[in-house]
Structure 1
């Protein structure tokens, strides 16, 4: 059932907030401008670094023995990454032989969703109606229900166990006769489901602790025989690990440990812990040989490069991926920068709209006009900053882009429209 709250903001408060919005808008405008400038420099430097590295690397065809002649050189190599280390999660007594072990944790919680509708009143005040709805979902962090607006849902959340997500990495990962460094190991993804086996003694101890917490919140609600047998059949079908101890509130199912009475019918407070790992396998890397290990390549402009990917990839594939990643990041930051510029301008000019809020329909017309103006000016300003940055970093491209902006501005000016109209008539 939805819960609603209605609040009214006076005209004076709105004016005060708008004045604060002007300063916030200026700050956002400056930050966005700096972001746009920095992003172009970052993109150019990264591209030049990749081009430099692509022209300087050598192919390491044999990793079975250390080659002193390659020391200090940028290389591309493909081979088997493996380890003899055993990784452990002492919380559940899990031990696996892998390059990396990752623990993901989810909590079944009530979450609050808010939907707001606003209405301007004559005289400048604003009425806000907020509708709060609640649903049970799995979340990566416990949700503080003590701050929920609906009193009937407040403090309803709890967790059977507060477990943090974590990752363990092997310290000794060999790559032929070489050893991967810590950063390279951390870059390898752990996606293979782990066959979870919890020692029965450990499982029994955890189950007793969780049952105490469960009973304190839900009461003594043990399942009937038929229900218990059905659950056992379901767990057996799902599970790839055999534990002789059958827990009441702790269940091992494949690569998951479920804390709760029944995974098929989750209750608030239930926790599911999922394990994945990185097994030994082929990897491809581009890095500088540093004795028996590897380090980052430093280009002339100071940018660094060290890439490792799972599977066999050619150097061309890896460099192409790096260029594409650089281009994608550049465009993402450009869009963010443009939106921040427009938002900043909107905050600066928003006070004019607020002043006219005493007559709502007039302020709405002005608001539309302000939005259009901010959009046009923000876009033009952003392109100018990008062009100036390119003049600094890439002169020819920057000049062409700036000339294009000038043509667009001229075309939208009154004089430009007249000249264009005369050309068309002729």
Structure 2
């Protein structure tokens, strides 16, 4: 059932908001311009750093012995990363021998979805109709339902356990005779599901806590869950059931997941799903500077730094190609963001003119279309100009060549246009 709210904003309030929008627009325009300029410099410096590194690295063929001759040099090496550390999540008593252990948490919650419809009124006021709908779903954070608009759903959310996403990393990870530094270890992804098993004592302890919370929230409904419990017990892993004599009501283990609730097949508000993944010992590829028995960042002449680690065996060419592609992708993403900020900024600056005409909605809507078109064209032109000027500053030869090509194209179209006009004039005279 949808819940709606209707609000009216007066013409005076809209004018006041538009004045604030001018200042916001100016700020967005400046930020977008600065971002476009900075991004071109960042892209060029990163490219030069990567090219410099590609010309300076050496291949570390043997990682089983520390080589003093390689100290301070940029190297590419591949080999087995392993550890003897045991990582522990004390909340559930999970213990694994791994390079990293990741705990992810999801909560089954009510979610409020708002859809707004705005309508200009004669005289300049604005009517806003907001429709709120509610749906259940798994979320990475508890949802604050005290801010819900529909009284029926307000304060309807709770959680059986409030846990946080957390990661544990081994303190000592060896790479042949060397050790990976902290930054390298934290860069490794957890891509293997952890086989979860709870001790009988831990299962009993946690289940009693969760059952108490469940009954306090669901009340008499908790007495109607026998059928759900039987279904869930059938789904619980054979390994977990054989490991425990205690028959839990609200704690269920399935593979790498700990489920808090009566039945994972029919989740209820408040249920919690905890999953584990780990990073096992395995081959890694490294590009970094040898620093004694460990590694540090490579610093190029322009001050940009580089240190790359990837899981699996990769050649230096593959790793550098990936870095170049990543730099190119980031450059284009930031360019798009910069252009959108510039256009949005111009839209905010000119928005007050549109608001002034809102007393006659039909006229204001036509004007708004024109403003949007003008802002789009001017914003794009300004952005391209800033990028071109940045190219002249950071890479003059390329920038000059680009401007020469653009100038030639403009001249060619201009000459073509003059020729067409002259031909039409001659035709009319004849």
Q: TM-score when scaled to structure 2? A: 0.94
Aligned residues: 424
- 1:280 is matched with 281
What's the counterpart of residue 196 of structure 1? 196
Q: TM-score, normalised by structure 1?
A: 0.95
1:246, CA displacement in angstroms? 2.3
**1:311 aligned partner:** 312
In 1: Cα distance, 2:190 partner to 2:295 partner: 21
Which residue of structure 2 aligns with residue 81 of structure 1?
81
Q: Which residue of 2 aligns with 1:214?
A: 214
Distance 1:152 1:417, change over 3 A: farther
Deviating more after overlay: 244-253 vs 66-75: 244-253
Counterpart secondary structure, 2:101: strand
Contact 1:240/1:253 (8 A) holds in 2: no
Aligned to 2:15: 15
**Does 1:343 find its partner at 2:344?**
yes
Q: Determine helix, strand or coil for the equivalent of 1:251.
A: strand
Alpha carbons 2:200, 2:243 under 8 Å: kept: no
1:247-293: CA deviation from partner (whole Å, max 9, x where unpaired): 11111111001111111111101000000000000000100000000
Structure 2 residue aligned with 1:256:
257
Give the match for residue 55 of structure 1: 55
Deviation of residue 231 (structure 1)? 2.2
1:67-216 aligned at under 5 Å gives the runs 67-216=67-216
- Name the CA distance, whole Å, in 1 between partners of 2:398 and 2:423: 30
Q: Deviations over 1:167-192 (max 9, x none)?
A: 00001100000000000000000010
Compared CA separation, residues 358 and 58, structure 1 to 2 (3 A):
same
Distance 1:225 1:367, change over 3 A: closer
In the TM superposition, what is the alpha-carbon distance from 1:416 to its structure 2 partner?
7.4
- Mapping 1:389-404, distance limit 5 Å: 389-403=390-404
Which is worse superposed, 24-33 or 231-240?
Answer: 231-240
Structure 1: which 5+ residue stretches go unaligned? none
In 2 relative to 1, CA 231–418 (structure 1 residues): closer, same or farther, beyond 3 Å?
Answer: closer
1:419 match: 418
| 3-state SS of 2:237 partner | helix
Poorly superposed stretches of 4+, deviation over 6 Å: 237-241, 407-412, 423-426
Cα drift, residue 235 of structure 1: 1.5
- Equivalent pair of 1:384/1:402 in contact (CA under 8 Å): no
Give the drift of 1:244: 3.4
CA contact (8 A) 2:231 2:263 kept: no
Residue 292 in structure 1 maps to residue 293 in structure 2: yes
The C-alpha deviation readout for 1:295-314, integer Å capped at 9, x for no partner, is: 00000000000000000000
Distance 1:378 1:140 in 2: 37
CA 1:377 to 1:224, structure 2 compared with 1: closer, same or farther past 3 Å? closer
SS in 2 for 1:143: coil
Q: Please say if residues 195 and 240 of structure 1, whose CA atoms lie closer than 8 Å, have aligned partners that are also in contact.
A: no
DSSP-derived class of the 1:219 partner: helix
Separation in structure 1 between the aligned mates of residue 310 and residue 361 of structure 2, nearest angstrom = 58
Which range moved further: 209-218 or 322-331?
A: 209-218
Q: Name the CA distance, whole Å, in 1 between partners of 2:15 and 2:351.
A: 10
Cα distance, 1:418 vs. partner?
A: 4.8
Check conservation: 1:40, 1:330, Cα contact below 8 A. yes
Instruction: State the alpha-carbon separation in 2 of the partners of residues 60 and 424 from structure 1.
Output: 71
Q: Partner of 1:41 in structure 2?
A: 41
Q: 1:351 to 1:105 in 2, by over 3 A?
A: same
Deviations 1:151-210 (A, max 9, x none): 110000000110000000001100000000000000000010001111110111111111
Q: What is the CA–CA distance in structure 1 between the aligned matches of 2:284 and 2:409, rounded to whole Å?
A: 50
